[in-house]
Structures are given as structure tokens and as C-alpha cells.
């Protein structure tokens, strides 16, 4: 296990280095004046362009700039925002908690609903329960996130105002737990509905394949209870593709749940990236891109480790 983790971590570091190098070359490779003008904007005066050149060291050789960029990155220095003159790490630290709570809270809901619905549907295929689940899944997949979000806001504010649910910026549960729940419940449900639909179908298909395996028929022939066959032997092995999808989704969503955050005004990492792209705030864009890549790398490492616990036939190599 330790050797496997070491190899995966080293591979993850290699991926992050490639991402950082690509981002650096994308924004900073080229003549110094061209890069400085792109950072300053098309209407910036020559004084501002010269100041950017001196501040960022764009007049130095490219390899020197690259080594300086990597050195700062290794020390956790992602630079300073061009717009607010605030360290990028500070901006990310302010925006990240809202995204973390949104993703992990919704993940609990969609995994619970998705796995439960998939197992119930697979145990009685082509029955009434399976057909009802299929209809609900198709509705969940077909409904755009922003439409569902706006519908939920309308219902909460106009039809059920007594519920206390409302859209708004993220509130820390340590400061105001009631306010935290008021602004997070609707985004959790909105994100979970769309994701759960995917996990129901994925779990159902994987369970149907697993329940047809030879070792499942052997367990039934030995007289094992059906519940034990389904949940202990079948579900455990069937969760492998589900965990794979979960790792990809978590890693991707932690990089910014743009649509959900925009609809409910959560001011998370996705909103920060939107503002940065609109304002051309490249240090924030670069920092957010590297952070999103780190989330995906970490999620994939955890998924690979989880394989060996879910399916004893899988060996880490």
C-alpha cells in the first residue's frame, strides 16, 4: 500500500507540474510587451504596462521567470490579484469554504439517494419500482440545474415563505448555524437531484451485472439470505464504477460549482473564477486552475485506494 501511494503521489505531482507549466506558458510565454499589454488590457497607458513589466519581471529571461514562478508555487505563493491587490491564497481561502460545504453536503444526498434507488431498482428489474425510478431518473437528468434552482427559489419565496429558505451568500455554520442551513439546503438539493439521477442508473447497471456473476449464484446455492447476497456480496463489488464516478465528480465540482453558485448567489470558488475571467485577473485564474487540478489528483488517488477495500479481487499494483 505504501509503495502504491508513493507512486500515485509522485504521478500526481507530475500532473500538477504539467498543469502549472502549461498555465505559465499559456499566459506568460511571448514578448514581454505583448504579455504585459494582455495583462493590463487593450486601453492601458504605457506607464501601467511598464509597471506590470517591472512588477512581474517580464523583462527577465523566460526560464528565470519560470523558475521564480515554480519557487513561489512550492511555497504556496500564488501571487497577488491585479484587481484587488489581495493575495490569491486569501481570495481562495475566503471562497473555498462555501464550495466545500456545497459539494460535500450535496454528495451525501446524491450518494444516499443514488445508491439506494439503484439497488432497489436492480433487485426488481422491469417491475413497477424499476419503472418509476426510471421515470424519475430521466426527469432528473433532463432538468437543467439553473431551471431547477430558479424553481426552488420561487417556491421557497412565494409558495412556502414560512420555510425560511432563501438564496444568499455563504454563512459559516460556526457563526450562524440556522442561517447556514437556510442558504445551503436549496443548493444541496438542487445539485443532488441532478447528480443522483446519474448515480441511480450507474448503480442499477453495475448491480445487475454483479448479481449475474458466478460467485453470486454460488452464494445463493449455499443458502445465503438474499439480503446478505445483495448487500454484502453484490453491492460491495458493484460500487467500484460508482466510486470512480464519485471521485471524478467530487474533484471536478470542488474546482467550482459555477451554475449552482450563480443561481443561489453563494459566492464560492466558482463565482470567484467567473469574476476573475470577466476582469482578466490572471493570477486568480492561474491559482484556481492549479487548485482544481489538485482536487482532481487527490480524488483519483483516494478512489484507487478505495478499490482494494470494495472489491477483494482488485490488487493495488
Q: Report domain extents, the chain.
A: 95-279
Q: Report the pLDDT averaged over residues 47-58.
A: 73
* Rounded CA separation 222/293 (Å): 48
Which residue(s) pair with 87 in the sheet? 80
3-state secondary structure at position 212: coil
Q: Residue 71 in contact with residue 57, Cβ under 8 Å? A: no
Q: Which of 29-38, 96-105, 133-142, 211-220 has the lowest mean pLDDT?
A: 29-38
- As a whole number, the mean pLDDT across the chain is 82
CB 210 within 8 A of CB 179: no
Higher pLDDT, 204 or 311: 204
**Cα distance between residue 201 and residue 196, in whole Å:** 9
pLDDT in tens, 117-168: 888 888 888 888 888 888 888 888 888 888 888 888 888 888 788 777 888 8
Q: Which residues contact 281 (CB under 8 A, 6 or more apart)?
A: 81, 82, 83, 275
- Topology of the domain comprising 95-279: MetI-like fold (1.10.3720)
d(CA 86, CA 179): 28
- Percentage above 90 pLDDT, the chain: 5
Cell of 217: 449464484
Q: What is the mean pLDDT of residues 29-33?
A: 62
Q: Cell 442558504 maps to which residue?
A: 183
Cell of 210: 454483479
- pTM score, whole prediction: 0.81
Contact yes or no for 225/136 (Cβ under 8 A): no
At 205-238, the pLDDT tens digits run 888 888 887 778 888 888 878 788 887 778 877 8
Residue 108 has pLDDT above 90, yes or no: yes
CB atoms within 10 A of CB 17: 12
DSSP per residue over 93-160, as a string?
Answer: HHHHHHHHHHHHHHHHHHHHHHHHHHHHHHHSTTSHHHHHHHHHHHHHHHS-HHHHHHHHHHIIIII-
pLDDT tens-digit profile of 258-307? Answer: 888 888 888 888 888 888 888 777 788 888 888 888 888 888 888 877 77
Amino acid at each position: 500500500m505504501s509503495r502504491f501511494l508513493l507512486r500515485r503521489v509522485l504521478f500526481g505531482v507530475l500532473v500538477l507540474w504539467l498543469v502549472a507549466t502549461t498555465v505559465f506558458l499559456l499566459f506568460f510565454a511571448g514578448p514581454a510587451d505583448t504579455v504585459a499589454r494582455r495583462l493590463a488590457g487593450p486601453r492601458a497607458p504605457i506607464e501601467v504596462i511598464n509597471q506590470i513589466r517591472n512588477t512581474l519581471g517580464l523583462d527577465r529571461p523566460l526560464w528565470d521567470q519560470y523558475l521564480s514562478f515554480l519557487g513561489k508555487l512550492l511555497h504556496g505563493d500564488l501571487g497577488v490579484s491585479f484587481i484587488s491587490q489581495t493575495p490569491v491564497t486569501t481570495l481562495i481561502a475566503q471562497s473555498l469554504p462555501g464550495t466545500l460545504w456545497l459539494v460535500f453536503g450535496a454528495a451525501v444526498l446524491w450518494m444516499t439517494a443514488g445508491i439506494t434507488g439503484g439497488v432497489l431498482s436492480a433487485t426488481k428489474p422491469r417491475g413497477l419500482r424499476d419503472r418509476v425510478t426510471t421515470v424519475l431518473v430521466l426527469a432528473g437528468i433532463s432538468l437543467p440545474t439553473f431551471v431547477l434552482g430558479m424553481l426552488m427559489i420561487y417556491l421557497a419565496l412565494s409558495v412556502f415563505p414560512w420555510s425560511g429558505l432563501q438564496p444568499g451568500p455563504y454563512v459559516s455554520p460556526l457563526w450562524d448555524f440556522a442561517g447556514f442551513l437556510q442558504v445551503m439546503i436549496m443548493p444541496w438539493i438542487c445539485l443532488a437531484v441532478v447528480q443522483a439521477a446519474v448515480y441511480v442508473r450507474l448503480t442499477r447497471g453495475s448491480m445487475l451485472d454483479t448479481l449475474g456473476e458466478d460467485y453470486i449464484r454460488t452464494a445463493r446455492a449455499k443458502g445465503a439470505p438474499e439480503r446478505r447476497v445483495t448487500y454484502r456480496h453484490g453491492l460491495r463489488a458493484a460500487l467500484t464504477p460508482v466510486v470512480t464516478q464519485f471521485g471524478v465528480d467530487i474533484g471536478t465540482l470542488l474546482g467550482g460549482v459555477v451554475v449552482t453558485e450563480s443561481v443561489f448567489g453563494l459566492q464560492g470558488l466558482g463565482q470567484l473564477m467567473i469574476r476573475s475571467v470577466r476582469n482578466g485577473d490572471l493570477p486568480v485564474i492561474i491559482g484556481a486552475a492549479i487548485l482544481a487540478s489538485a482536487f482532481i489528483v487527490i480524488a483519483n488517488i483516494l478512489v484507487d485506494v478505495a478499490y482494494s477495500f470494495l472489491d477483494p479481487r482488485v490488487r493495488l499494483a
